[in-house]
Amino acid sequence: MLCCCLLRVLVCRIAPCRRSLHRCSVPLSYFCIIRLLGLSQSQVLAVVRLDQGGLDLREFPLAANPHRRRSNMHRQISESRFGSGDRRRRSLGGERRSPSSVSIEGDSRIPEETNFRETCDGIADEFICPITMELPVEPVMAEDGFTYDKSAILKLIQQQKTNLRSPYTNEPMGPKLLPAVQVRNVIEKLVSSGAISGEKAEYWKERIRDEKELKDVKQRADDGEEDAMYKLGCWYGHGKKGLRKDSGLAYQWYRKSADHGCVKGMAAAGYHLVKGLGVEMNRVEGMSLLGMATYARGGSDFAAYFLGIWYDDGSCGLPQNQERAMFWLNKVVNQSCEVRHLTEYHRVNAADRLKKLKEEPFAG
C-alpha cells in the first residue's frame, strides 16, 4: 500500500500520456516510474487499477500467497477492461482470456517483496540526516533545501553562528529552518508498516520512544511529581532522551525535586552546589543538602559516597579524616542506605577505597 501511495504521488506530478503501448493500456508516465523505481509488473498494474478506482488494497502487497495475489490483481484488471461473466466471454469470442495475457514489456523478475523493500530503503536513505547519519525524528528543511534532524542542525547553527555552511554543499546558508511535516509522516509510515527495518528503523523507533517518554515525564514534572523532576535532571545532566547536555537545567530540576522532598534530588543538587556545576558554587548550602540526603528516608548512598571520598581526600572544604571517610564508605559497601542511585563504578570504587583505608591507616 505504501509503495502504491508513493507511486500515485509521483504519477500526479508527471503529466500522463493516454497513448497505449502494445497490448497494455498503461500510460507512458507509469513506464517512467517503473524505470525510476524498478518496480515489478504486478505492483505497477495495481497502481494503474488504483488510479482508475476499485482495486482492493488488501490484495496488495501483503497477501499471504504471492501467486494468489498476482492472480487476483490480473482478474480485477481484466474485469475492468473486458467486463465480467458472460459479457466478458462474449467480448473475447467465447474464449477465456488468460491472466498472463495482460502484461507489460520488460517485466522485472526480482521477487516483489525484495524489490518493495529495496525501493522503500532507497526512499528512506533520501531522508537520512547528513549530520547524525540517522533518520530524523524531528525533520526540518534548511535554507540549502535539504532535510536535517532539528537538534543536530540547531547545534551546528550555534557552533558556526555567522559562518554557517551547508553540511551538504559546503556553501554559505542562513539559519532559517522550516518543519518538514510530510517527511516526518512518510518516515513514520515506512517504519510503522515494516517497509524498512534494521538499524535505521530501530534507531528511529528508539528515538520515538524516548520522545514520548520525555513528553510524559515533563508533564508529570510540571504537575509536581518529584521523581519526574529528578529524572529530567538526570537526562539533562547526561544528555539523554534526545536532550542536549545542560548542567544548568540539570541543577534546576534537581533543586525542584529536592524542594518537593526527593532524597535523590537533595543529593544531586548538593553535589552540583559543592562542585559549582550549572550553578554558582556554594559549598555550605551544598553540604547541608548532602547531609540531609544521608538521613532522609533511610539515606542516599550517593550522598554517603561523596562525603566518604571527600573526607578521605580532604577536598571540597572537608578536612582529611580517616574515621569519617570509613564511616560513610562503609554505608555504601554494606548497602545500609535505603535510597540507592549510585552507579556500579562508584560502588566498586567505594569498596576499593574502604579496603585501602583499613590496610593503610591514615597517619596522624
Mean pLDDT of 349-354: 95
Q: Within the chain, where are the H helices?
A: 2-13, 28-37, 41-52, 66-82, 85-91, 112-125, 150-160, 181-192, 199-222, 226-238, 247-259, 263-275, 283-293, 301-313, 322-333, 344-359
pLDDT-wise least confident of 21-35, 258-272, 279-293, 312-326:
21-35
Instruction: Report residue 106 as a C-alpha cell.
Output: 520488460
- Within 10 A of 134 (CB to CB), how many other CB atoms are there? 17
Q: Is 101 exposed, middle or buried (0-12, 13-18, 19+ CB in 10 A)?
A: exposed
- Within 10 A of 35 (CB to CB), how many other CB atoms are there? 9
The predicted structure's pLDDT at residue 110? 54
Domains identified in the chain and CATH numbers: 2-92 (no CATH), 125-201 (3.30.40.10), 207-359 (1.25.40.10)
Check: pTM over 0.75? Answer yes or no. Answer: no
Measure CA of the first residue to CA of the last residue in the chain; give whole Å. Answer: 80
Largest pairwise CA distance in the chain: 114
| Of 21 and 277, the one with more pLDDT | 277
| Of 42 and 152, the one with more pLDDT | 152
pLDDT tens readout for residues 227-271: 999 999 999 999 998 888 999 999 999 999 999 999 999 999 999
Mean pLDDT of 16-33: 41
Using the predicted structure, report yes or no on whether residue 9 has a pLDDT greater than 80: no
Mean of the per-residue pLDDT values for the chain? 77
pLDDT tens readout for residues 186-201: 888 888 888 887 887 8
Alpha-carbon distance of 82 to 67, in angstroms, equals 22
Most confidently modeled of 20-34, 53-67, 147-161, 294-308?
A: 294-308
